Chain A
Amino acid sequence: MATAAAHLTTGTPAHDAPDGAEGTDGNQRAFDAAVAADERIEPRDWMPDAYRATLVRQIAQHAHSEIIGMQPEANWITRAPSLRRKAILMAKVQDEAGHGLYLYSAAETLGTSREELLDKLHTGRQKYSSIFNYPTLTWADVGAIGWLVDGAAITNQVPLCRCSYGPYARAMVRICKEESFHQRQGYELLLALSRGTPEQHAMAQDAVNRWWWPSLMMFGPPDDASQHSAQSMAWKIKRHSNDELRQRFVDICVPQAESLGLTLPDPDLKWNEERGHHDFGAIDWTEFQAVLKGNGPCNEQRLTQRRRAHDEGAWVREAAAAHAAKHSGRTGATDSAGTGATGTAGTTDTADAAGRTGAKQA
């Protein structure tokens, strides 16, 4: 956060100060001014408790969606029909794990921890995007997810690159770049099927038929039924209403479907000259509510697999933490299971240092 609210960060991190203390009015005014001036709120800045709670909820749900969202696509990794497609799909699922990691880090800047958030996911106290409760029944579903689900996600997320909370906005810049790449790959996968054999074309059409309406539901309830929207827009966490983004998505998809040679499963879909937008049919909000409540086709399966991966991995995380504690020497208390268990290229150096320490002692 720059000029208008710079004075907020003097002294200790402002969020340690009790809310409702005498300075709060001043903090609130400075916060409002910073938001009004389109400045970024940063982790050490004062922020209203409700703003913090909303962001934790939204970023955690976003992170959880990336992690659960790996499942429907990973379902096809072992069956991908060409080595090129297999590589693309593996890279995509890997990116999603990476997005989950960025987003948990962004959420952690608000004073929570990845462990705590995962626990809330596993116990159903925090949600993930309802779209991932639909099954991937054919290979074409991988393409439909790329084109429609990632397309909807991008429409939702590009405005978040200008979100008022700095760490979230910066994570979204990176994520949106990768997502738009995935979206193009999904489109290209469907195009190959659509132009392929009659069986492939039918497979593509069937996938689009099944994923179209759930994708429209990704924008959330209609504006008049969206409980968090007004406040989120006032805080500049959100920039556009659900219905506005949904309309934008429909308008983008219609010409894309035409060039794919596929139809969208909505008899009421047609161009409205007066509005300059496409009109489209009514969304089945009963289905949306049922999926949200846990009664979609895959809710049980997705959460069970996530819990199982976590539970079956417990001994691995414990071993990593115990090893780190034994060989902490220089790294000390900071080498918790979270950092000690990393095996990614970027953190290999840390792991290597720990390993060499072990060698000297042996």
Chain B
Amino acid sequence: MTATVATTAALALGDDALVLSHRLGEWAGHAPVLEEEVALANIALDLLGQARVLLSMVGDEDELAYLREERAFTNLQLVEQPNGDFAHTIARQLYFSTYQHLLYAALAGGEGEFAPLAAKAVNEVAYHRDHAEQWTLRLGDGTDVGHERMRRACEALWRFTGEMFQPVAGLDVDWAGLEAAWLESVGDVLERATLTLPEGPRVTAWSAGAGRQGVHTEPFGRMLAEMQHLHRSHPGASW
């Protein structure tokens, strides 16, 4: 694998999709209503499909997914965060799908090599974003318990959101514009959900762009251990 800007970008986007898909897959059999079993699996499958296309642009999808170690993954720290309760999962989805939708819409409108992929994926991501928004509204503006849980989840994940707007080499995007649009959109959804944008820093001293550089949070290694164990136990086998 040669580290061209295109592979850097494909890996960054592919790893985001791969890791978030894995986290959503952990919900199977645990969702609060049957419709969410279907919806969360649906989103996980869309993301896995995107990951497979992106990783295949770089090399063998399974080698990249199963044989890289923690320090070689370049996903955002946000997507590797554990599912937590349903509110944490939804807050993570709201933050990420809003970002991904804005990013893919920008890429789809450009002429870069990610345009065809983004053009296809942007429709899927629009649905993910809608799903996250609708649940943010229900949880935030439903019961007191829901409101409090949604508020806490939005706060807990806030410090991982700044990393999304660290420019990725090979993606020709107006990152500042993306960040402004993201803040406006998330702010609007939270307001409609009777919540407010958290006030803490969106980039902490150690998390600025760290995931993109292969520096991750502690739960990530454990996630990879589970994900890669079987594949690594049978070197060279095909499945």
* Contact residues in A for B229 (Cβ distance below 8 Å): 79
A44 within 8 A of B: no
B130 interface neighbour in A80, A90, A315, A348, Cβ under 8 Å = A348
Determine whether the beta carbon of A83 is less than 8 Å from that of B52.
yes
B121 within 8 A of A: no
Known: A101-B34, A344-B35. A351 touches B134 (CB 8 A): yes
A323 interface neighbour in B48, B142, B236, B237, Cβ under 8 Å = B142
Determine whether the beta carbon of A83 is less than 8 Å from that of B145.
no
A355 interface neighbour in B30, B32, B38, B133, Cβ under 8 Å = B133
In Å, the complex CA distance between A359 and B51 comes to 34
Determine whether the beta carbon of B26 is less than 8 Å from that of A78.
yes
B135 interface neighbour in A81, A84, A343, Cβ under 8 Å = A343
Q: Which of A291-336 contact B (CB under 8 A)?
A: 305, 308-310, 312-324, 326-327
The smallest C-beta distance from A16 to any residue of chain B, in angstroms, reads: 29
Determine whether the beta carbon of A344 is less than 8 Å from that of B42.
yes
Determine whether the beta carbon of B231 is less than 8 Å from that of A82.
yes
Known: A317-B32, A321-B142, A343-B36. A362 touches B134 (CB 8 A): no
Determine whether the beta carbon of B25 is less than 8 Å from that of A86.
yes
Known: A319-B143, A362-B192. A87 touches B45 (CB 8 A): yes
B181 within 8 A of A: no
Determine whether the beta carbon of A83 is less than 8 Å from that of B51.
yes
Known: A87-B49, A100-B34, A340-B138. A196 touches B237 (CB 8 A): yes
B137 within 8 A of A: yes
Give the number of residue pairs across the A-B interface with Cβ within 8 Å: 193
Residue of B nearest to A326 (CB): B141
Q: Of B18, B22, B86, B141, which is in contact with the most chain A CB atoms at under 10 Å from its CB?
A: B141
Q: Which of A91-99, A123-131, A230-238, A257-265 contacts B (4 or more CB under 8 A)?
A: A91-99
B29 within 8 A of A: yes
Determine whether the beta carbon of B192 is less than 8 Å from that of A359.
yes
Task: Provide the A61-81 mask, 1 if CB < 8 A to any CB of B, else 0.
Answer: 000000100110010011111
In Å, the complex CA distance between A313 and B90 comes to 13
B230 within 8 A of A: yes
Task: Provide the B132-158 mask, 1 if CB < 8 A to any CB of A, else 0.
Answer: 011101110111011101000000000
Q: Which 9 A-B pairs have the closest CB atoms?
A: A313-B32, A319-B146, A319-B142, A94-B41, A97-B37, A343-B39, A74-B28, A316-B32, A323-B142
- 30 CB contacts below 8 A, A to B, read A70-B29, A70-B37, A74-B28, A77-B25, A81-B231, A81-B237, A82-B231, A82-B238, A84-B52, A90-B45, A90-B48, A94-B37, A98-B38, A197-B236, A199-B234, A312-B32, A313-B86, A317-B33, A319-B142, A322-B142, A324-B138, A326-B141, A341-B35, A342-B35, A344-B39, A345-B127, A351-B134, A354-B137, A355-B192, A362-B191
Question: Given known contacts A83-B52, A93-B37, A343-B135, what 16 new A-B pairs fall within 8 Å (CB)?
Answer: A81-B230, A83-B51, A87-B45, A87-B48, A87-B52, A90-B48, A97-B41, A199-B237, A308-B30, A310-B32, A314-B32, A316-B146, A318-B146, A319-B146, A323-B139, A343-B134
